[in-house]
Amino acid sequence: MFTFQYIAIDTEAGVTPEEFETFVRGEGVHLPLYPGWRWTLLRGLRGERTGQYLMLYEIESAEQRDRYVTARGEQTELAREFWARHPEADAVLVRWRRLGTFGELPTLFTDYRLLADNPRSTVTPGPRYRDRPGEEPVARVVGIHNLALRAGVTEEMFDRFIAENHHRIDDYPDWRFHVLKGERGNRLDQYVMMMEIASLDALDVFYPEPDIATGEAAEFAAAHRDTKQMYEEWKQLASFSGSPQIYTDYLAVAENPA
């Protein structure tokens, strides 16, 4: 399960992105977290929400999500008990809310179910952001690209196509796709292609500018004909990532420690 929560900083009060990110990396990351949950703070690089923030929650199962958050985005009784056991979090939450919004109502959110991803990708499980002395820094890119079905195409048709054909996809090196389907929330974007990319450099090798592919991208497509063919079949059913659909490519700027 993935949950997207739209975050805004209080620029009217003079809060800067640098101030907000420094706070989150120094204090916010130490907030307690529900079991089976992790989050990454993302800042928009380009697209619809350039310069704006998104909290990406990854949850091990829908059941684990439902233990703590209702379908309306409200805390369950178990969640209220969880925060009552962590009174040390109160001061940090007060400081966070002075700088911007937190992942709670009335923050806009959407919950997504994973339909498919590529386990053969060279992007392995691990932190999306890490900056520790003596370790290689990590700042992954997460692309959120909304999709739309063509006229006459049902959800069942598209879901079946993805289930039967996603194994044909070979990602660019250091890229990994996820096809997500919206389940509940305020901004219920029906389908999303979420691309997790190992670094900004790995993005720029193939797309240094929005929607402008490099020669390396063309060479990769030529060498992976079945992937290209699968994408053409996909486009007969639904839009694909990139323009004209709404999208944002984000850079990871903070993450709760594992």
The domain that contains 84 carries what CATH number? 3.30.70
* pLDDT exceeds cutoff 70 at 258: no
Neighbours of 90 (CB within 10 A): 10
In a domain, 96, yes or no: yes
Q: Average pLDDT of 170-194?
A: 92
Domain enclosing residue 41, as ranges? 1-148+172-198+247-257
In a domain, 66, yes or no: yes
Spatial neighbors of 109 by CB under 8 A, at least 6 apart, are 3, 4, 5, 6, 73, 103, 185, 186, 187
Q: State the first-to-last Cα distance of the chain, in angstroms, to the nearest integer.
A: 18
In a domain, 55, yes or no: yes
Determine the Cα angle at 88 with ends 252 and 35, to 5°: 55
* SS3 call for 127: coil
In a domain, 1, yes or no: yes
Q: Binning pLDDT at 50, 70 and 90, where does residue 105 land? A: confident
In a domain, 65, yes or no: yes
Predicted pLDDT at 171: 94
Separation CA 95–CA 100 (nearest Å): 9
Separation CA 201–CA 178 (nearest Å): 20
In a domain, 143, yes or no: yes
Separation CA 251–CA 141 (nearest Å): 5
